[in-house]
Amino acid sequence: MGSRSLVRESTRVALLIIELISVSVAECYTVTGADYRGFQNQTSQQGGKPCLYWNETFQHPYNTNKYPNGEGGLGNHNYCRNPDGDVRPWCYIVEYEDGVYWKYCDIPTCHMPGYLGCFKDNGDPPPLSGISETSNKLTIQTCINFCRSKRFKLAGMESGYACFCGNDADYWKHGEANSTECNQVCFGNHTQLCGGDGRINIFDTLIGSCGGNYSADIGIIYSPDFPDNYANGRVCYWTIQVSGASMIQFHFALFDIRDASDMVEFLDGYSNEVLARFDGRNRPYDSVNVSASFVILYFYSDGANRADGFAVLYKGEPGKNSPNTLDTITERVGPGTIGARSSKILYITASPSQSNPNMPVWTIYALAGLLTLTAIVMVSKILLHLTVKSRRIPAQDSSEDCSQSSPSEPWVITYKPSTILFFKKKLKEQQGDRSPLVGD
């Protein structure tokens, strides 16, 4: 692989990431455009059919009466949407005599993060020259998983059932094709597109991994199994450590988590303290900015519902100690808290130091020694007390008859903090020390 190819590949990836970070919510980031929230209101930008307003399509299955809370992006507008998980955004149009009442919207920018494009495949050599396989259950993620397990960086789908792997930076050598030419549905998921005849969709295999380590200044992190729905019982960690950054900006290009038990959390990389938590009921802000250089992104899914997941873009900001230069009205919150939902940007202050919170070793040894010494002293006092209590006065003359022996004199124990004293206490004399109950 030549240096020219590496430079071109690095430039391409950098431009893609910068473009994705700078775009507004109007862009489409998934293969099917299910999260598209753009403003195209006709089937094509040039000469397309005008779309009907979703609040006026009561004769059709998708309208604002049936979905009043904005599900699928529906609302009092006529923008293209994909509320039913079709292959790409669409809209209702004025009915014609042939019975057609809806059409797909031609949105060429509708693609997901990590999607490198649609390319021509002339077969000599193929764009990706690694191993390959075919499957009648092929999806984008099954191909990505296969290539990632074989330690390839790129995965490509072609003709709906073929998966190709490789590391070639010049996969574009046969030319780039229009994205609409990769229109063959995947055999394993008809809502996804897996290339076409002589056309291959190419993806970065980092998509859909459960965990990873990121150290570049900018990057994209995808939910596990993305772009397929994330699986149940997922527990994943991603570390983002940008050297020299005073703040890391996060922007969710996609966030589709419907279960309140499934969650995405931001943790302080040094203390593991939870800084913010988002789920199906508490969606993230337009931007989440963490004032730290080391952040852990945590994802958990339970055994119930599944959804598209998330795609989050991050960018390290060196030398910016305060966000006050921004014109946006924001609210700064401390660790473990989440600000009011009215804020467009959430600022999180993480722990400023990297000090180790563990107790020093010498302190542990000192405490252990003190506890041991205390235990020895207490045991010694208990044993001494039991020994004294069980002690008895020996007989004065062993030759005397047991019946004639005088009873033992009582003993009194006096306790002082430093010592224990013993002394005999004589009974009061009563008529020659005889019992008053015995007669003459």
Domain positions in the chain: 24-111, 115-204, 212-318
Q: Is the pLDDT of residue 113 over 70?
A: no
For all residues of the chain together, what is the average pLDDT? 75
CATH architecture of 115-204: 3-Layer(bba) Sandwich (3.50)
Nearest to 251 by CA among 281, 279, 218, 280: 218
* pTM confidence score: 0.52
Distance CA 169, CA 166 (A): 9
Residue 108 binned pLDDT confidence (cut-offs 50, 70, 90): low
CATH class for the region spanning 212-318: mainly beta
Distance CA 274, CA 297 (A): 10
What is the largest distance, in Å, between two alpha-carbon atoms of the chain? 141
Residue 112 binned pLDDT confidence (cut-offs 50, 70, 90): low
Quick: pLDDT tens for 293-333. Answer: 899 999 999 988 888 888 888 999 876 443 333 333 233 23
Q: What is the pLDDT of residue 151?
A: 92
Cα distances (angstroms) measured from residue 106 to each of 26, 27, 29, 40, 182:
14, 13, 15, 9, 14
Contact of 170 with 5, CB cutoff 8 Å: yes
Q: What is the pLDDT of residue 162?
A: 96
Contact of 313 with 17, CB cutoff 8 Å: yes
What is the percentage of the chain residues whose pLDDT exceeds 70? Answer: 68
Quick: pLDDT tens for 275-300. Answer: 999 998 888 877 888 888 899 999 99
Shared fold status for 24-111 and 115-204: no
CATH superfamily of 24-111: Plasminogen Kringle 4 (2.40.20.10)
Quick: pLDDT tens for 32-85. Answer: 677 788 888 998 877 888 999 999 999 899 999 999 988 888 999 999 998 988
Count, residues in the chain: 440
Quick: pLDDT tens for 349-402. Answer: 665 544 444 455 556 777 777 788 888 878 777 877 776 666 554 544 444 444
Quick: pLDDT tens for 121-132. Answer: 988 888 999 999
Q: Please list, in sequence order, all residues whose beta carbon lies within 8 angstroms of the beta carbon of residue 145, skipping any fewer than 6 positions away.
A: 208
Distance CA 206, CA 155 (A): 10
Strands 294-300 and 420-424: unpaired
Distance CA 340, CA 427 (A): 84
Residue 234: both structure tokens together: 């997922």
Distance CA 279, CA 223 (A): 13
Distance CA 79, CA 57 (A): 13
Average pLDDT over residues 224-241: 90
